[in-house]
Amino acid sequence: MNNRVAVIGDKDSITAFRAAGLEVFDATTAQEAEKLIKQLTDEHFAVIFITEQLAVGISDTLAKAKVKAYPAIIPIPNADGSNGYGMSGIKKDVEKAIGTDILFKED
């Protein structure tokens, strides 16, 4: 039962995922997204993709979910392109673990 994938985002960006066989849920505000994440966590989704534009607004909720193995909540770019939230997440992780950012220094 713990094997489903969900995509949360604005309607324009997520319709495409439906064609690829993922379950999509549309949300336009941070509150809606937060509610959806709660609901999907209760329904034991394994992976939840969320558009970066929505993820920015609910970073507290995402940080709380980081310590558990499932669900993995992963920010993805939407149809307008990426706003760098996903990359900054990696950067934050590196800073947390090593103390200084060694991966992004060169660029």
Partner 1 sequence: MAIQNVNPTRMEMKRLKERLKTATRGHKLLKDKTDEMVRQFILLARENKRLRSEVESQLSDALKNFMLAKTVADTRVVEEAVMMPSRRVELQCTKRNLMNIGVPHIEVKQDTAGELYPYSFLSVTSRLDDSVATLDKLIVSLIQLAEVEKTCNMLAEEIEKNKRRVNALENIMIPQMEETIKYIEMKLDENERASTVRLMKVKDIIAKQQQSY
Of residues 40-99, those binding partner 1 (CB under 8 A): 46-47, 49, 66-67, 69-70, 72, 74, 76-79, 81-82, 86-87, 89-90, 93-94, 96-98
Q: Cβ of residue 70: shortest distance to partner 1, in angstroms?
A: 6
The CA distance from 100 to 105, in Å, is: 10
Q: Check residue 22 for interaction with partner 1 (CB under 8 A).
A: yes
- The smaller minimum CB distance to partner 1, of residues 4 and 32, is found at 4
The answer to whether the CB of 73 falls within 8 A of the CB of 46 is no
Q: Check residue 5 for interaction with partner 1 (CB under 8 A).
A: yes
Give the number of other Cβ atoms within 10 Å of residue 33's Cβ: 26
The CA distance from 47 to 85, in Å, is: 18
Indicate the SS3 state at residue 106.
coil
Phi first, then psi, for residue 19 (nearest 5°) are -65, -30
Kindly list the residues in this chain that would bind partner 1 in the complex (CB under 8 A). 2-5, 12-13, 15-22, 46-47, 49, 66-67, 69-70, 72, 74, 76-79, 81-82, 86-87, 89-90, 93-94, 96-98, 102-104
